[in-house]
Amino acid sequence: MNFIQMIIPLNITKTISDWISSIMPETAANYTIMVVIAVAYLVLFAVAGLYLVLLERKVAAWFQLRIGPNRVGPWGLLQTMADALKLVSKELTSTIKIDKFLYNLAPYFVIVAALMAMAVFPFSKQFQAFDINIGVFFLIAISSIGVIGILLAGWSSNNKFALIGAMRSGLQTISYELSVGLSILTMVLLTGSLQLSEIVEAQRTGGWLILQGHVPSIIAFMIFMIAGTAETNRAPFDLVEAESELGAGFHTEYSGMKFAYFFLAEFINMFIISSIAVVLFFGGWLSPFGITDNITWFPEVIWFIIKVVGLIFLMMWFRWTFPRLRVDQLLTLEWKYLLPLNLMNLMLMAIIIWLNWTI
């Protein structure tokens, strides 16, 4: 038994579940376990969002040859904590002519959709809250809900700039969801399963799917990252929040914690897109240096996080490398290039599987 196994049990989730079940009745234990899981994911959600903001600022500073946040805490590690406290303490302001119900409801659509999507990711063999046999379909469906919150925010704000940003978001999301879905379908075709844990296990012996599927897998990954970046409204596809045109876009009229929900959801959506890519293309929590059955819970999560952070860095690299597209360029890229290429790539993957040319 190594040092990590001495500190953390091999199956920590089962250990906690058994302990709770031993000290209270079955019904109470079930509800308590649900609450514990929800709290754990909320903490993960908050911490991941805050430190992805810090990573964004550090990466931006690195690309622009400056230092970045370095005042609050060692190396500026507590800067986003201070920013979060500032946002929480700010007054929630709004205009007189807003639609109050929809205005207040919109941020929760965005944040709840992101939180629900995180529940199905297999962070390790034991660390997965919701392992269902239609996990990929669930992810695609849930990720479509977030745009409803953006549309509601733009409409209910009674602000023309917010409305333009919201309409752009709807246009962009509906367009690029096709490419995201077809890229995912290409890999589902290769694995023959919609269950995320099974997709990861399929890569245990055959290697990462990006290598098993040859050229179609590589093309699917490239299209997925481009379309996924557009789905999260990140530069160079950030027409939804184009500061030079729309102020702050769809959340122009939001302040305080409600603004923080939109801001946090953008970074969590980056985490979600990168996590999907890691599961579908890069082996999920599996180590790239050979897999053994006695691998501990802790390293599995670390491998998953390292891969996810690597892809998040790639998305941030996009932002500080490419200029913002125009609306016509945005739609031309999807409908004239990515979508036809995706359809041909899906057919090519089907031919490769039919001929049994996979690794």
Looking at residue 88, its pLDDT comes to 84
* 188-213 confidence digits (pLDDT tens): 999 988 999 999 988 888 889 998 88
Looking at residue 195, its pLDDT comes to 92
Q: Which residues contact 318 (CB under 8 A, 6 or more apart)?
A: 229, 234, 235, 236
Domain spans, the chain: 12-89, 90-354
CA dist 147 and 297 (Å) reads 35
CA dist 149 and 103 (Å) reads 9
CA dist 333 and 324 (Å) reads 13
Task: Determine contact, residues 266/230, Cβ cutoff 8 Å.
Answer: no
CA dist 346 and 213 (Å) reads 11
- H/E element holding 280? helix 256-281
CA dist 270 and 138 (Å) reads 18
Q: Which residues contact 197 (CB under 8 A, 6 or more apart)?
A: 122, 125, 128, 131, 135
Nearest to 44 by CA among 304, 296, 290: 304
Looking at residue 294, its pLDDT comes to 45
Q: Which residue's structure tokens are 């038994």?
A: 1
Average pLDDT along the chain, 359 residues, taken 10 residues at a time = 41 70 82 84 86 92 91 88 87 85 92 88 82 89 87 91 88 91 93 91 87 90 95 86 72 87 89 94 84 56 92 93 89 94 94 83
Looking at residue 206, its pLDDT comes to 80
Tokens standing for residue 149: 């919150």
Looking at residue 298, its pLDDT comes to 57
pTM of model > 0.85: yes
The identity of residue 303, as a single letter, is W
CA dist 253 and 92 (Å) reads 10
